[in-house]
Copies of this chain bind each other. A is one copy, B any other.
Amino acid sequence: MYRSHTCGELNDSHIGQTVTIAGWTQTIRDKGNIIWVDVRDRYGITQVVGESGRVSEDILNSLKGLGREFVIQIKGEVVERHSKNPDIPTGNIEIVASEVTVLNKSEVPPFTIEDNTDGGEELRLQYRYLDLRRKPVQDKLRLRHKVSVETHKYFDSIDFMEVETPYLIKSTPEGARDFVVPSRMNPGEFYALPQSPQTFKQLLMVSGYDRYYQIVKCFRDEDLRADRQPEFTQIDCEMAFVDQEDILNTFEGLVKHLFKECRGVDFLEDFPRITYSEAMERFGSDKPDVRFEMEFVNLNDVAKGKGFGVFDNSELVLAINAKQCAGYTRKQLDKLVDWVKRPQIGALGMIYCKCNEDGTFKSSVDKFFSQEDLAQWAEAAGAEKDDLLLVLSGETDKVRSQMNELRLHMGDELGLRNPNEFAPLWVVDFPLLEWDEETERYHAMHHPFTSPKAEDFDLIKTDPGKVRANAYDLAMNGVELGGGSIRIHDKDLQARMFELLGFSDEEAEKQFGFLMNAFEYGAPPHGGIAFGFDRLVATMGGSESIRDYIAFPKNNSGRDVMIDSPATLNEKQLAELSIKTAIKQD
């Protein structure tokens, strides 16, 4: 062992002891005849001192010869510090060096290894092994570890079994693109990497495993958006002989356990539940951030029919009430208008209405609306003096989506989205199907194994878009943490669902034949959920970005710039795999 203690554990109780620590030189303060070196490891920072007279000249020179990020081993006596640092656990002591060993030197790192580094994002990705030394990054990965361990403990305590499902599976051309793997032993054939273990966990239910979970990597070859990774981690779960209520309660238990053990947050109440349609109506989102109110107000009754064409020609006129914002300046309001008109939001404009202190109203459409009209808006929105109404209009889906963005933006601006506050919410009764404009057919909103609600079943033929599913999401702080459904366990119903989704019999057989076959042999009622593990941990950590919670993330082009991957293969490898590259001539 290279050390008797870590750099995080020495305190008053060790004064007088001779100890050995090892770690990296964090900082060096050289005052000539006295020198201080901060030594850092995963556990903390310990100050080492060398002073002319107290230590030999050799030791002093060794300390002076150190550079940033050198790996060193220090032996010495623990003494009380003159000037104590109450901010760190080791702040009362320092070590008077009696032996200094350089275990490894270091070049000067390309950015500072500090909480607030001077390195840009690409540089830090390229030298990720140095970025990973920074305490904020280590803390994030420590949280990730803790959440993982507590997930295992929770599931083990309630009789769930972790079962590993295969990574080399079969491509299903539906849905997102698969990553594929050429098979050398089966020339011309390919494995696919799983987008999720969906079919395998359903097979495990058919096999009677009853309560399954797995923390598992999944893969999706999508065009990357910010904060999407081609490989990501799921907490994947499934249960048999349960209905939706059992699932929600079981996994609400998981989330409560994790927050309590890993964040010290106690959710005393049941998580609220709202339906998808209510969520869309009140928040314009299936993952509303309910840390703050500012709910949608429908102004159709009071804003249409007054001669303002924009409203009159709109399907929906929506307002939100920004409390105590009537003082917004012209400039602030113009900025908001510009913000909603950005292509990412896509609104054509925004109307405002200030509720002045004196009881009057001031709107951007005073030409069309009287004070009495505006008073009706205010009443509908529950607005009081000093409040500001922001109004968007247009097609229902579009205006809801735009207003959702505006609401979140206002939440950010007004500091209503506290990262240390957590507001969970079950959204239930998702639609079974969604219409896809491009392919002009219905797609499964969740996936093709999701069961429709029994009471909506007759609508499948007459009005498929109206059919609700036994499907649910857990949302928190505007983020979807997980989602799932009660599955179809009846072979005939599953076959009808494939038909509805436009699968030919051959396609269904080729892709899911093994699941359909399995359903011939006694499939129990079952359902499950999958949590996005990266996103769950990031949300628990109070962050919207998942990348820092992944030890070795890829950049937005799907590249690992540290190891320089992907890369070309040599001809021998390609020949063995019976493939050729066919790069398009641009």
Which of A104-112, A315-323, A347-355 sits within the interface?
A: A104-112
Chain B neighbourhood of A184, CB < 8 A: 177, 221
A37 to chain B, nearest CB (A): 14
The residue from B188, B242, B566, B576 contacting A583, defined by CB atoms under 8 A apart:
B188
The answer for the CA separation of A359 and B71 in the assembled complex, in Å, is 68
A40 at the binding interface (Cβ < 8 Å): yes
Which of A149-157, A424-432, A538-546 sits within the interface?
A: A149-157
A452 to chain B, nearest CB (A): 17
The chain B residue with its CB closest to the CB of A137 is: B207
A100 to chain B, nearest CB (A): 15
A195 to chain B, nearest CB (A): 13
CB pair B582–A163 under 8 Å, yes or no, is: no
A340 to chain B, nearest CB (A): 32
Chain B neighbourhood of A573, CB < 8 A: 171, 173, 177-178, 180
A523 at the binding interface (Cβ < 8 Å): yes
If the complex has contacts A152-B149, A162-B145, A171-B567, are A584 and B187 also in contact, measured as CB distance less than 8 A?
A: yes
CB pair A42–B208 under 8 Å, yes or no, is: yes
The chain B residue with its CB closest to the CB of A202 is: B129
Q: Which of A171-211 contact B (CB under 8 A)?
A: 171, 173, 177-193, 199-200, 203-204, 206-211
Task: Tell me which of A190, A490, A513, A583 has the highest count of chain B C-beta atoms within 10 A of its own C-beta.
Answer: A190
The residue from B40, B153, B188, B242 contacting A581, defined by CB atoms under 8 A apart:
B188
A69 at the binding interface (Cβ < 8 Å): yes
The copy count of this chain in the complex is 2
Q: List 10 A-B contacts (CB under 8 A).
A: A2-B241, A40-B208, A129-B204, A132-B203, A138-B209, A166-B552, A168-B230, A170-B567, A182-B182, A190-B569
Q: Which A positions have Cβ atoms within 8 angstroms of B?
A: 1-3, 22-24, 40-43, 69-71, 103-107, 109, 127-130, 132-133, 138, 141-142, 144-145, 148-149, 152-153, 156, 161-171, 173, 177-193, 199-200, 203-204, 206-211, 217, 219, 221, 223-224, 230-231, 233, 241-243, 245-246, 489-490, 513-514, 518-525, 550-552, 554, 557-560, 562-570, 572-584
Q: A164-B233, A183-B558 are in contact. List 7 more A-B contacts (CB 8 A).
A: A106-B521, A141-B161, A182-B182, A182-B581, A187-B584, A190-B566, A580-B581
Enumerate the 3 nearest inter-chain pairs by beta-carbon distance, A residue then B residue, closest first.
A106-B522, A132-B207, A170-B565
